[in-house]
A = this chain, B = another copy of it.
Amino acid sequence: MATGSSAPSAPAPPGSGEKSHLFNFTGISANKAGMGADRKLVADFVYEKSKNSQYTQHQLELDAKQQARAELVAKELRIAEARMSEIELLSERRKIEAELEALEKHRDLSRTHCVVDMDMFYAAVEIRDQPSLASKPVAIGGLGMISTANYVARLYGVRAAMPGFIAVEMVRNPAAIGSKMPPDELVFITPNFAKYTQVAMETREIFRQYDPHFRAMSLDEAYLDLTDYLAAHGVSAEAAVQEMRDRVKARTGITCSAGIGPNRMVAKIASDERKPDGQSQVLPTREAVLEFMDRLPVRKLPGCGKVLENQISIMLGVQTCAELRAAAARVKRAFQGRKTCSFLMRACLGLSSDELAEEGGEVGNVARKSLSCERTFRAESEPAELRGRLRDLCRQVSEDMAASVPPLAGRVVALKTKASSFEVRNKQISLIQPVGFSPNFGKGGEDGREHAEQETARVTQELYKLLEPVLEEQFPCHLRLMGVRVSSFRDQRATLDKGQQLISFFQSKGSEQQEGPSAGAGPDNLNTGMPKPQIQEANVIDLDSSQEDQRDKSRDPPVQSQSLPKGCLKRVVERLASRRAKRIRLSGVCCPVCGVRVPEDQANRHVNAHYGDQ
């Protein structure tokens, strides 16, 4: 099925009438698309709607680069394979089989994992609060960007991460994208993050009863190890999960879907199988797992995004996990030396890690590693204007650092810029002395408020003084985005809102890393494009693994939400947060973003404040 024929090494000519086949893979790919609208037609539609935009121009360049690399590797692979003798091929095959068997030995089918994921989460909350919307196409977001859409809108091809103005046209003209829906008007709802957080906290109360150590991956998604619960209660996983989902629905009025499997990755993928309000189980046998995996498009593997999917397709001619497994030898050759290699090998066998490496944070919470704030705006050249925005970002970051528990101080500060051409740059500064707050900051109880604000102003200023010269270097420039980021925290303990990065979450440690450079090592950073780690159970193979400490595998209480815009609103709340944080005795709920306890009636406002204005 490999395509890779005419490879335009230069950026595809924009506006050259026919759309670039490259842009194609930027659009909606095999994965979640489905339902009502034709993937290709949607991609075409989106492309047509923004053919001549800066955004598209930039995307085309990225795509072309990826495509060229993929095709080059594909070519090299073909050449290398052509060169290989039968003996070499046989030996390789045997080696691969041995490796797969080795992996197989560590397959753990003894535990029962479950992934719960709310259905069309933001949209569901809004529709719950305004049921008359249920029958209409609804998008959460605005004309600029959509965060999610209800299933009606999805029938028109509307998706998360789709610009709203395009979605509008799709709903008005369903025929153009192969949808049989009648023309309609897309209803937009500005996100109300506070509400979603509130709902999320309610769901987590329930999850906790099935696994006190569950991990929340985002506001709408949780990972549970049900093994102990099932043993203790003597119920089937199916029944327990059904009950849990019923309780979520009863408590929040919102449906969720769940996947049950012998490890988190399988459970995660399974959670998507019966998506709206359903659950599905992959039985804990090797056969069931492999059968389940085999029919999956590789894109379904968490960590396999559109770029890797395209690489696999172009380089290996592979679409499904079954094909991937069959092509294990080529995978090795194509991705050798990269984590992607063992990731793919393990993933297509349905293997993943089950441990909860609670690196850092509180009692098992995941430690935050960076904190940032960025904003898109109408492209701007005026230095004074840009400086003003930079200062706003610094203040925001400062306030967020102050509101963290414990307050943060970091040794790396970075400025992110995006030009009106969509070109992104990051410039970072490493410091000897961290910038930020002392660990005792915020302990001032009733008083010390003034001190807190002065400190925040101080950190704002320090960040600004550090980054303003960095910005200065960019002039003249025409920017549409700036962002400020702090990392390398002095104190590891600050908990993050979400639990780990899901990929390494599935893979824990172990990597593929250089087994010696191989075929795929194309020019420059060819083959670069994908970072996916590997799967890795509690008992993992770990070929290389020059990793850190392993610590106790105790699972831990969740509490958190998800990476969300911390926008303007955040401020008000943030302050409330930092203040509230000082007297935990107060009633209220824990904000999953900043971990701070806020009074219930403030919860909405509070969490909203973590998000952007827009």
A residues near B (Cβ < 8 Å) are: 130-132, 184-185, 187-188, 190, 192, 377-378, 380, 382, 384-385, 387-388, 391-392, 395-396, 446, 449-450, 453-454, 457-458, 460-461, 464, 567-573, 575-576, 579-580, 583, 586-587, 599-602, 604-605, 608-609, 613-614
Contact = CB atoms under 8 A, between A and B. Distances in A.
30 contacts: A130-B187, A132-B185, A132-B187, A190-B190, A377-B599, A382-B587, A384-B446, A384-B586, A385-B599, A388-B580, A391-B579, A392-B575, A392-B576, A395-B575, A449-B461, A450-B457, A450-B458, A450-B461, A453-B460, A453-B461, A457-B457, A567-B572, A568-B569, A568-B572, A568-B573, A568-B605, A569-B572, A604-B613, A605-B614, A608-B613
Contact of A391 (B384, B388, B449, B601): B449
Contacts of A446: 384, 387
Contact of A571 (B190, B571, B608): B571
B601 A378 contact: yes
Contacts of A601: 377-378
Contact of A454 (B388, B454, B575): B454
A451 to B, nearest CB: 9
Stoichiometry, copies per complex: 2
A573 B396 CA distance: 12
Contacts of A579: 388, 391-392
Contacts of A396: 572
A123 B288 CA distance: 56
Contact of A602 (B377, B450, B608): B377
Nearest to A133: B187
A464 B570 CA distance: 22
Which of A187, A188, A388, A446 has the most C-beta atoms of chain B within 10 angstroms of its own C-beta? A388
Contacts of A600: 378
A576 B389 CA distance: 8
Tell me what chain A mostly uses at the interface: helix, strand, loop, or mixed.
Answer: helix
B188 A599 contact: no
A614 B583 CA distance: 25
Contacts of A568: 569, 571-573, 605, 609
Contacts of A613: 569, 572, 604-605, 608-609
B185 A130 contact: yes
Nearest to A450: B461
Contacts of A382: 586-587
A600 B457 CA distance: 27
Nearest to A380: B599
A188 B461 CA distance: 41
Nearest to A465: B450
A613 B450 CA distance: 24
Contacts of A395: 453, 575
A587 B567 CA distance: 23
A473 to B, nearest CB: 17
A599 B378 contact: yes
Which of A378, A464, A609, A613 has the most C-beta atoms of chain B within 10 angstroms of its own C-beta? A613
A380 B580 CA distance: 14
The 8 A-B residue pairs with the shortest CB-CB distance, nearest first, are A568-B572, A132-B185, A378-B601, A453-B457, A605-B613, A450-B461, A571-B571, A377-B601
A581 B294 CA distance: 62
Contacts of A388: 576, 579-580
Nearest to A569: B569
Nearest to A396: B572
Nearest to A452: B457
A266 to B, nearest CB: 40
A608 B572 CA distance: 13
A570 B377 CA distance: 18
A453 B392 CA distance: 11
A257 B173 CA distance: 36
Nearest to A445: B384
A382 B586 CA distance: 8
A156 to B, nearest CB: 14
A377 to B, nearest CB: 5
A578 to B, nearest CB: 10
Contacts of A377: 599, 601-602
Given A395-B575, A572-B392, A586 B188 contact: no
A408 to B, nearest CB: 19
A392 B572 CA distance: 8
A572 B575 contact: no
Contacts of A464: 449
A390 to B, nearest CB: 10
Nearest to A588: B385
A32 B125 CA distance: 35
Nearest to A608: B613
A510 to B, nearest CB: 44
A346 to B, nearest CB: 45
A613 to B, nearest CB: 4
A567 B604 CA distance: 14
A442 B283 CA distance: 67
A453 B460 CA distance: 9
Contacts of A571: 568, 571-572
A380 B599 CA distance: 10
A72 to B, nearest CB: 41
Given A130-B185, A378-B601, 15 more contacts: A130-B187, A190-B192, A382-B586, A385-B599, A388-B576, A388-B580, A395-B575, A449-B464, A450-B460, A568-B609, A569-B569, A569-B572, A569-B613, A572-B613, A608-B613
